[in-house]
Chains A and B, each alone.
Chain A
Amino acid sequence: MISGLLLVMLAVVVQSAGAGLSQTEGDGVDSALELLKSTKFSDRLRGVEQLATSGHSGVLGLLSELLEGRLFYIKKGRRLVIAEEQDGDYRIRDALTGEPLGVEKARKLRKINLNNAMRSRINALVAAIDLASDSPSTRLDAVNRILDHYDVDAVAAIRPLHAVERDEQVRDAMEVAIALADLETGSFSQQVQAVAVLQESVHPAVRNGLVRLKARAGNPELARMIDKSLEIIDARLKVFAALETLFFGLSLGSVLVLAAIGLAITFGVMGVINMAHGELIMLGAYTAYVIQRMMPDHIGISLLVAVPAAFCVSAVVGIAIERGIIRFLYGRPLETLLATFGISLILQQGVRTLFSPLNRSVETPEWMSGALHINSALSLTYNRLYIIAFCLLIFAGLILVLKKTALGLQIRAVSQNRAMARAMGVRSAWVDAMTFGLGSGVAGMAGVALSQLTNVGPNLGQSYIIDSFMVVVFGGVGNLWGTLVSGMTLGVANKFMEPWAGAVLAKILVLVFIVLFIQKRPRGLFPHRGRAAEG
């Protein structure tokens, strides 16, 4: 019923063109396409209008191609095609069916040109078609687009739709658009009402509209109202800007936590200084790269496969390091530091020899691109959202493993009192290997996440190792919650300082802060209590 009504509205929008609705679909499209090829702008405009009312499913695509300047016709035969430039020639396909037609020389084609009036008309038409869509998100997009390229005609199309719109979000957006139009053209009382409505919106077009009206507002009361609304909007924009910074900070914090959480286990729980931790992250990132190369047709799935694979690769390498080297150095932390640094050099050079010294890029799957639009002032990119979610997921998983599994129980037992645990029959050597493997595996999974943010190269790990140590030490060694809190805190602090200090200085300030903080509280934010921590 709604869509039927919408179609009627649509007819109202386009009726100025005088295109007959009674024509059958095919006729309408064909004659409209013929008109598009005309040399006169007015004919082409009529063609566009006819096309819009035809209801043909391919119209929307065709109009947007036209807007992009990709609609051509072949001079010979006058067939309408969509053409994309390729090495000086054009790859063409049929305009309506999309059937590929091979490659054509540029001089055999003629482009269908637009003028500005046509362009804004087409924009309005496309919006009108979208407004008739069944999907609320498409309708919302259409309204937002109209707001972006504010246009009186287009808003006129919205007016009647507003009353029948069911989706609240879409209706709100429509209200804003209508109010914006009232602001421009309405009577005084309409303007006053519009100002009241508009102060709820943070869309940039609204702010511009208000500023425009203020410049020519004769009535001092109206001017005062506008000032007040602008104040409200600006305050709200500030809040959203802060929220965005917070979001950036949390995503940076998640990266830090991801990088550090494996270390929180190997360093925090076992007391092993693992300088090769960064390289275990790097191995995870390379695993993601290799798996993506192995399944190039399933980029999206490959990343999901890479997570457990990276865990296994890094865990195996980690266990090998522990069994081969670190276990001989327990109780000598400084020597461990040196030996693992040696390992990190070997792993780096190994990757450099095996792959190449150049950076590799891991493709981002489709489901990770794009952004979640909260409103026009705040949108959260999906990749950052996923990083935060992934970080929390891994953290929760790790807590579960440590608190709820037999292995976790043994790990905690050995870290608290090795001798007693051994007396109770815990195979402490095996637990050591498993703990180290767990920490290393988590580092590998972090590598998969990092592969989505930066290029994968032999130096990937080095750039994270110092940050990771800082996070763990700041949070309090041996405390996973401390690592989470400290990573997030440092990330957010970093991002909030960036606007006035610059990225590098912000980082330096954070480092200096940590160094000073450790002087004050050598055991971090959340130190272990009790005698065990004094050792």
Chain B
Amino acid sequence: MGIFNILKGDRGGQLFLAILLVAVLAVPYFSLATSPDSPFHFSIYSVTLLGKYLAFALLAIAVDLAWGYLGILSLGHGAFFALGGYAMGMYLMRQIGDRGVYGNPQLPDFMVFLNWDSLPWFWLGFDMFWFAMLMVALIPGLLALLFGWLAFRSRVTGVYLSIITQALTYALMLAFFRNEMGFGGNNGLTDFKDIIGFSLQSDNTRVALFIATALLLGLGYLACRLIVMSRLGKVAVAIRDAEDRVRFIGYRVEHVKLAIFTFSAVLAGIAGALYVPQVGIINPGEFSPINSIEIVIWVAIGGRATLYGAAAGAILVNYGKSYFTAALPEVWLFALGTLFVLVTLFLPKGIVGVLGGKRAAK
């Protein structure tokens, strides 16, 4: 199936990818090639901010794949996101080398502070970029595989599944808050210096990270679209709409669910890995159940079961959050809360549903 086949009839997706392409081309130009005085100049701060939104958009797509097409409302996708982020954070920590406050070439600062004398076994290998990137995908994927295998096999569905995914991320949050876990406890991992040899502070690296995020977002979108258009995707939608019937027809519902849920978790992990170098910190707060619910909100507001709607929702809500928390901090939670209520009551298909009218995907 060629790329054009995947996008056939997906006007929203075509538009989304086109905008993404324009952004990849235009943002570097306006941020690096124009002078800071020029009215068209795009500050590096904005580039990083935009990059962060795009990482969130990838996360939203991952949630939409599971929720919109498979009917699994995961309230624990923040956990996969954060695990990917931690894997990336561990790599970045190891890159600090002896430039930390304590100047220990072997141990990150927080371990020196805790009086540890050697690197715990689960930190081994994270000084290699390829290994860390493997872990970014592998750890969330394995967790999702194990968790999903247990849950789907015993047919935990609907609200119950939502609640135990929430318990999962909550338990992980509590665990990561513990210093003994070896992930920096309360403070998490921060103070990163460079990534594969490039300084994280330099403008070029930041623009490169933005481009990487945008490209991976595009790839992630295409991959999800590929799944949705495939037979697997069709079965997934059938499971969403009538799980028992699909099972009676003879499909192995658990396998389908497991495959898509795990892929979705891997995507979320990649999003986390893209997020961490851009914001410069990862801490256990990312595991908090509220974060996971917020992701679901982006998807609901953007419009679920469209993929591009989820991405648009993530970007819009986060832009609103950045704007309001700076301008009117009091109002933000009121606005967000009201938005949830209104969207669920009046816009079951989200913003995309309103804009796209009949064209919006089912």
A-to-B contact residues, CB < 8 Å: 273, 275, 325, 328-329, 333-339, 341-346, 348-350, 352-353, 462, 466, 469-470, 473, 504-505, 507-508, 511-512, 514-516, 518-520, 522
Residue contact B175 to A518, C-beta cutoff 8 Å = no
Residue contact B73 to A328, C-beta cutoff 8 Å = no
Chain B neighbourhood of A505, CB < 8 A: 178
- Which B residue sits closest to A273, measured CB to CB? B159
Chain A neighbourhood of B134, CB < 8 A: none
Chain B neighbourhood of A344, CB < 8 A: 337
Please tell me the size bucket of the interface on B. Answer: 35 or more
Residue contact B174 to A329, C-beta cutoff 8 Å = no
Residue contact B162 to A334, C-beta cutoff 8 Å = yes
Residue contact B341 to A343, C-beta cutoff 8 Å = yes
- Which B residue sits closest to A514, measured CB to CB? B167
Looking at the assembled complex, report how far the CB atom of B202 sits from the nearest CB atom of chain A, in whole angstroms.
38
- Which B residue sits closest to A466, measured CB to CB? B170
B151 at the interface (CB under 8 A from A): yes
Residue contact B345 to A329, C-beta cutoff 8 Å = yes
Among the stretches B87-95, B262-270, B290-298, the one at the interface with A is B290-298
A180 to B130 alpha-carbon distance, docked (Å):
73
Residue contact A342 to B336, C-beta cutoff 8 Å = yes
Residue contact B341 to A339, C-beta cutoff 8 Å = yes
Q: Which of chain B's residues 169-183 have a Cβ closer than 8 Å to chain A?
A: 170-171, 174-175, 177-178
Chain B neighbourhood of A511, CB < 8 A: 167, 170-171, 174
Selected from B158, B337, B348, the residue in CB contact (under 8 A) with A349 is B337
Looking at the assembled complex, report how far the CB atom of B82 sits from the nearest CB atom of chain A, in whole angstroms.
16
Selected from B159, B170, B171, the residue in CB contact (under 8 A) with A333 is B159
A522 to B164 alpha-carbon distance, docked (Å):
11
Selected from B168, B175, B332, the residue in CB contact (under 8 A) with A515 is B168
18 contacts between A and B (CB under 8 A): A325-B341, A329-B344, A333-B158, A333-B159, A334-B162, A338-B297, A338-B343, A339-B345, A341-B293, A341-B297, A342-B339, A345-B333, A349-B330, A469-B163, A507-B174, A511-B167, A511-B171, A520-B154
Q: Which of chain B's residues 25-49 have a Cβ closer than 8 Å to chain A?
A: none
A508 to B155 alpha-carbon distance, docked (Å):
24
Chain B neighbourhood of A462, CB < 8 A: 290
B289 at the interface (CB under 8 A from A): yes
Given the known A-B contacts A462-B290, A519-B156, are A508 and B344 also in contact in the complex, defined by CB atoms under 8 Å?
no
A346 to B336 alpha-carbon distance, docked (Å):
8
B340 at the interface (CB under 8 A from A): yes
Q: Which of chain B's residues 144-167 have a Cβ closer than 8 Å to chain A?
A: 150-151, 153-156, 158-160, 162-164, 166-167
Looking at the assembled complex, report how far the CB atom of A296 sits from the nearest CB atom of chain B, in whole angstroms.
29
A329 to B164 alpha-carbon distance, docked (Å):
22
A519 to B168 alpha-carbon distance, docked (Å):
13
The dominant DSSP class at the B interface is helix
A337 to B334 alpha-carbon distance, docked (Å):
17
A469 to B162 alpha-carbon distance, docked (Å):
11
A470 to B174 alpha-carbon distance, docked (Å):
16
Residue contact B340 to A522, C-beta cutoff 8 Å = no
Q: Mark B63-105, 1 if CB is under 8 A from A, else 0.
A: 0000000000100000000000000000000000000000000
A514 to B341 alpha-carbon distance, docked (Å):
30
Chain B neighbourhood of A336, CB < 8 A: 344
Chain B neighbourhood of A345, CB < 8 A: 333-334, 336-337, 340
B338 at the interface (CB under 8 A from A): yes
A275 to B341 alpha-carbon distance, docked (Å):
12
Q: Which of chain B's residues 309-340 have a Cβ closer than 8 Å to chain A?
A: 330, 332-334, 336-340
Residue contact A334 to B73, C-beta cutoff 8 Å = yes
Residue contact B160 to A473, C-beta cutoff 8 Å = yes
Q: A325-B341, A352-B333, A511-B170 are in contact. List 4 more A-B contacts (CB 8 A).
A: A345-B333, A349-B332, A504-B175, A511-B174
Residue contact B344 to A515, C-beta cutoff 8 Å = no
- Which B residue sits closest to A335, measured CB to CB? B344
Residue contact A518 to B338, C-beta cutoff 8 Å = no
Residue contact B162 to A349, C-beta cutoff 8 Å = no
A505 to B150 alpha-carbon distance, docked (Å):
22
Chain B neighbourhood of A518, CB < 8 A: 154, 156, 160, 164
